[in-house]
């Protein structure tokens, strides 16, 4: 496939959404609006957005962890088939706000379902399709949660509400993933001021794809 698949990962409050917005704007200026596609996970297609509603509904606090893991994988399957593969075939650059690494960190480690088990159920969903590059925005859990409390207290989802220990476990899992896959996953220090983080992300994307930025 001709396109470029870039995913963005990180603990809650790391700044993914803020960073991707700027990267998208700048890439659209360079390549044209049609050449860039933003996808958020879970979501990104009609069916996947419906699954997102189910996953984040505060009334579903009793959702079984395996049900949760399967719903994330189901949402991913649908967006892979209906949006990601067609966009890659059309040569687009995809900016994906979370992908399979999120499931490994949150469901595998955070929920304690096992990183390997979550990788396996996701293989069925993604059928081998992995990002060319993953930008991992690393932040201490306390600071990430503080940012959410300060700026986004009115939009807190079921997972944001988990205790500090859950978020620390998620972060440790991300750090292990980065060490296991250093060629694909690039770590950026997300505790820096936003313009510095964006600059580091652009440099990292350029290092991998010299025609971008
Ligand atoms: N580098 C930064 N320094 C200070 N504040 C930041 C920085 N990056 C983002 N923020 C602020 O932190 C808050 C969370 O950022 P954002 O929503 O982009 O994070 P996120 O990683 O997408 O979070 P989530 O995964 O929980 O949706 C926002 O209010 C944003 O303005
Ligand atoms: C893809 C995916 C996401 N999550 C969690 C991580 C976050 O807490 C939310 C997504 O919120 P955002 O504001 O849209 O980043 O969902 C998860 O637990 N597992 C996953 O696979």
Query: What's the pLDDT at 196?
Result: 98
Query: What's the pLDDT at 156?
Result: 74
Q: For residue 61, is pLDDT > 70?
A: yes
pLDDT digits (tens, 9 = 90+) for 22-44: 999 999 999 999 999 999 999 99
- In a 3-state reduction of DSSP, which class is residue 57? coil
Least confident among 17-21, 58-62, 181-185: 58-62
Residue 90 lies in a domain: yes
Query: What's the pLDDT at 159?
Result: 76
Query: What's the pLDDT at 113?
Result: 98
Query: What's the pLDDT at 161?
Result: 76
Atom of ligand 1 nearest to the CA of 192: 1
Residue 152 lies in a domain: yes
CATH of the domain at 128: 3.40.50.300
CA 30 to chain centre: 23
Angle at 27 between CA 84 and CA 77, to 5 degrees: 15
Residue 48 lies in a domain: yes
Question: Phi and psi for 152 in degrees, rounded to 5?
Answer: -135, 30
Pairing verdict, β 133-138 and 4-9: parallel
Residue 176 lies in a domain: yes
Residue 59 lies in a domain: yes
Residue 117 lies in a domain: yes
Q: Which of 138, 43, 165, 167 is nearest to 96 (CA)?
A: 43
Banded pLDDT at 151 (limits 50, 70, 90): confident
**Spatial distance between the Cα atoms of 209 and 213, rounded to a whole number of angstroms:** 9
Query: What's the pLDDT at 130?
Result: 98
Range of the domain at 99: 4-208
- Looking at ligand 2, which residue's alpha carbon is closest to its atom 8? 159
Query: What's the pLDDT at 153?
Result: 66
Q: State the average pLDDT over residues 74-79.
A: 98
Residue 213 lies in a domain: no
Give how many domains the chain has, as a whole number. Answer: 1
| β strands within the chain, DSSP E | 4-9, 36-40, 93-97, 133-138, 185-189
Give the DSSP H or E segment for 16.
helix 16-31
Omega within 30 of 0 (cis) for the link into 133? no
Q: For residue 57, is pLDDT > 70?
A: yes
Strand arrangement, sheet containing 4-9:
36-40, 93-97, 4-9, 133-138, 185-189
**Spatial distance between the Cα atoms of 158 and 95, rounded to a whole number of angstroms:** 24
Banded pLDDT at 162 (limits 50, 70, 90): confident
Residue 189 lies in a domain: yes
Query: What's the pLDDT at 133?
Result: 98
152 CB within 6 A, ligand 1: yes
**Spatial distance between the Cα atoms of 183 and 177, rounded to a whole number of angstroms:** 11
pLDDT digits (tens, 9 = 90+) for 163-203: 899 999 999 999 999 999 999 999 999 999 999 999 999 99
Q: For residue 150, is pLDDT > 80?
A: yes
Mean pLDDT of the chain: 96
Pairing verdict, β 133-138 and 185-189: parallel
Least confident among 23-37, 103-117, 137-151, 193-207: 137-151
Omega within 30 of 0 (cis) for the link into 153? no
| Residue 11 in marked binding region | yes
| Residue 16 in marked binding region | yes
For residues 105 and 137, the answer to whether their CB atoms sit within 8 Å is no
- Looking at ligand 2, which residue's alpha carbon is closest to its atom 2? 102
């Amino acid at each position: 496939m001709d396109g470029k698949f870039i995913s963005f990962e990180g603990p809650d409050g790391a700044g993914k959404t803020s960073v991707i917005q700027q990267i998208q704007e700048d890439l659209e200026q360079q390549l044209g609006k049609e050449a860039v596609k933003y996808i958020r996970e879970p979501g990104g297609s009609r069916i996947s957005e419906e699954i997102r509603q189910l996953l984040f509904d505060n009334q579903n606090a009793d959702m079984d962890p395996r049900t949760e893991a399967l719903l994330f994988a189901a949402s991913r399957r649908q967006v892979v088939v209906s949006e990601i593969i067609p966009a890659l075939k059309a040569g687009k650059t995809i900016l994906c706000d979370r992908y399979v690494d999120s499931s490994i960190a949150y469901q595998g480690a955070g929920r304690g379902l096992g990183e390997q088990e979550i990788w396996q159920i996701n293989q069925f969903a993604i059928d081998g399709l992995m990002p060319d590059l993953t930008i991992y925005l690393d932040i201490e859990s306390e600071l990430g949660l503080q940012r959410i409390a300060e700026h986004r207290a009115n939009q807190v989802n079921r997972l944001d509400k988990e205790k500090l220990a859950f978020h620390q476990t998620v972060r440790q899992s991300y750090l292990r993933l980065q060490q296991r896959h250093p060629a694909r996953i690039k770590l950026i220090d997300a505790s820096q001021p936003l313009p510095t983080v964006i600059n580091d992300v652009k440099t990292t994307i350029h290092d991998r794809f010299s025609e971008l930025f």
